[in-house]
């Protein structure tokens, strides 16, 4: 059985994961309108992955005798300036999600809820991968600079990240 404190913290994370899905969906739509098929496919896939992270939390809360609450979400941005700015926002977002997961782990230890602590280890590992991926993409964009042909190649290359990233 989940304590009220754990349930509230997990429900907050449900909202964070749902919001992440929406942000990546908005990024996908923006990239698609800019003519970057690879980036949009990557973001659509990422949006689906974030939704799966949310659903995993919802099921965990309910299976542990809690009640997962689906709350309203803030509207995501509709424009992202440049691809570098968009991927910087993605990286910053992943860092904030990692901080939230770390807070959850801390709460689970304070509450001596070792089942939740164990469950959250998957999210800890996932966030390490998410941050590394975003950092890697930012490094590639920095290498490209303002080279338009470089962005064309980057758009094609990012498609490989979709198939290379194992389903979670």
Q: What is the mean pLDDT of residues 107-117?
A: 97
pLDDT, position 163: 55
- Is 111 annotated as contributing to ligand binding? no
Indicate the pTM of the whole model. 0.91
- C-alpha 91: how far from its chain's center? 9
Q: How far apart are CA 53 and CA 69, in angstroms?
A: 15
Domains of the chain: 4-164 (1.20.1260.10)
- Is 17 annotated as contributing to ligand binding? yes
pLDDT, position 89: 95
pLDDT, position 151: 84
Q: How far apart are CA 83 and CA 151, in angstroms?
A: 9
Which 3-state string (H, E, C) describes 39-65?
HHHHHHHHHHHHHHHHHHHHHHHHHCC
- Is 127 annotated as contributing to ligand binding? yes
User: To the nearest whole number, what is the mean pLDDT of the chain?
Assistant: 93
Q: How far apart are CA 47 and CA 62, in angstroms?
A: 23
pLDDT, position 97: 96
- Is 46 annotated as contributing to ligand binding? no
- Is 160 annotated as contributing to ligand binding? no
Residue 39: pLDDT over 90: yes
């Amino acid at each position: 059985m989940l304590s009220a404190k754990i349930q509230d913290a997990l429900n907050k994370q449900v909202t964070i994961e749902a919001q992440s899905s929406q942000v990546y969906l908005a990024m996908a739509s923006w990239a698609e309108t800019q003519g970057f098929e690879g980036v949009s496919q990557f973001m659509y896939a990422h949006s689906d992955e974030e939704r799966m992270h949310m659903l995993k939390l919802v099921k965990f809360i309910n299976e542990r005798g809690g009640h997962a609450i689906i709350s309203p979400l803030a509207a995501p941005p509709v424009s992202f300036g440049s691809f570098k700015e968009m991927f910087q926002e993605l990286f910053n977002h992943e860092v904030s999600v990692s901080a939230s997961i770390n807070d959850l782990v801390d709460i689970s230890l304070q509450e001596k809820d070792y089942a939740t602590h164990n469950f959250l280890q998957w999210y800890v590992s996932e966030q390490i991968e998410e941050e590394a991926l975003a950092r890697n993409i930012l490094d590639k964009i920095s290498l490209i600079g303002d080279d338009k042909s470089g962005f064309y190649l980057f758009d094609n290359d990012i498609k490989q990240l979709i198939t290379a990233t194992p389903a979670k």
